[in-house]
Structure 1
Amino acid sequence: MSETPPKNRSPARSPLARAFWVALAALSFGIGVIGIFLPLLPTTEFMLAAVYCASKGSPRFEAWIRSRRYVGPLIKNWETERAIPRRAKYVAISMIFASAMLLLWHLGQGWLRWVIVALLAAVALWLATRPEPTTRQ
């Protein structure tokens, strides 16, 4: 007699593994919140990482992150359309520009400041070329 293969079930997670995923989700969420105010830290990427990690360790935490007024719509727009709202683009690009100006003013002469400014410009260009969501949030 041959056995039927088991159905696709995810293995039961140990409490230690769940705690690891929740801690990683909390860390990503915290860095994402800091990224709201600091232009060098990308908010959306860390929030997406937080949702992913929370889904592995705590569906309740995942639902809580998705329900946040500020990040919930950003996550949904990115997951469904790979889109960034116009207001978020303006804020991010403005902060990147301000950071570039501060770097140019405070860093000494040399190639490092130009490399950093070029990277910031590349990120700003990438942000500017992302589509906007088709649905109003």
Structure 2
Amino acid sequence: MKSSTELQSTPPPLSRGKRWAWLALAYASLAVGLLALVIPGIPTTEFILLSAWAANRSSPRLSAWLARHRVFGPMLHNWHNGRVVAHKAKLSASLAMSACLLVMLWTVPHRWVIVVAAIGMAIGACWMWSRPESVDEARARAPQAGQ
């Protein structure tokens, strides 16, 4: 008989329709993540994480490809090993958000739109900068077992 942790980690079999929906989400978020590599202001990491999450539910092949990918693999490894966001990723995301905010200041006529976007960017940046920058740092932050 399987333990309760084994039962929780094994996803239930999906119907064909649900599998295709998860697969569509995986590929759509991967496409947005790829676009985000060249378009400033779109968060790459979040869309790749979403793609990996959906691929894990629908396509072992896509999931394995993402895990082995030269660019996305380390990002996914870091996330799975302590919710780590590398310093370089934090810096580039912060610079991209700042650049987008400047462009918005020059081009968007409605100040409320800029304020809402700035608040969203600030919340995202605060969350991102609160994440550990290395697996070792994540382990140091984690509560010790038995305490």
**C-alpha RMSD of the superposition:** 2.5
Identify if the C-alpha distance between structure 1 residues 56 and 111 changes in structure 2 by more than 3 Å, giving closer, same or farther: closer
Of stretches 20-29 and 91-100 in structure 1, the one that deviates more from structure 2 is 20-29
Matched residues, number? 130
Structure 1: runs of 5+ lacking an equivalent:
none
Identify if the C-alpha distance between structure 1 residues 38 and 122 changes in structure 2 by more than 3 Å, giving closer, same or farther: farther
Poorly superposed stretches of 4+, deviation over 6 Å: none
Question: What is the aligned partner in structure 2 of residue 112 from structure 1?
Answer: 113
Indicate conservation of the 8 Å contact 1:107/1:113, yes or no.
Answer: yes
Cα deviations by residue, 1:35-64 (Å, 9 ceiling, x for unpaired): 233344322222222122212221111101
1:18 deviates by 2.8
- Mapped to 1, the partners of 2:116 and 2:52 lie a distance apart of 32
TM score, norm. by length of structure 1: 0.78
1:123 deviates by 2.1
Question: What is the aligned partner in structure 2 of residue 44 from structure 1?
Answer: 45
Alignment identity in percent?
A: 33
1:32 deviates by 1.6
Structure 2: runs of 5+ lacking an equivalent:
2-6, 137-147
Indicate conservation of the 8 Å contact 1:93/1:124, yes or no.
Answer: yes
Once the two structures are superposed, the pairs formed by residues 53-92 of structure 1 within 5 Å of their partners are 53-92=54-93
Aligned residue type for 1:84: V
Task: Work out which of the two has the higher radius of gyration on C-alpha atoms and give 1 or 2.
Answer: 1
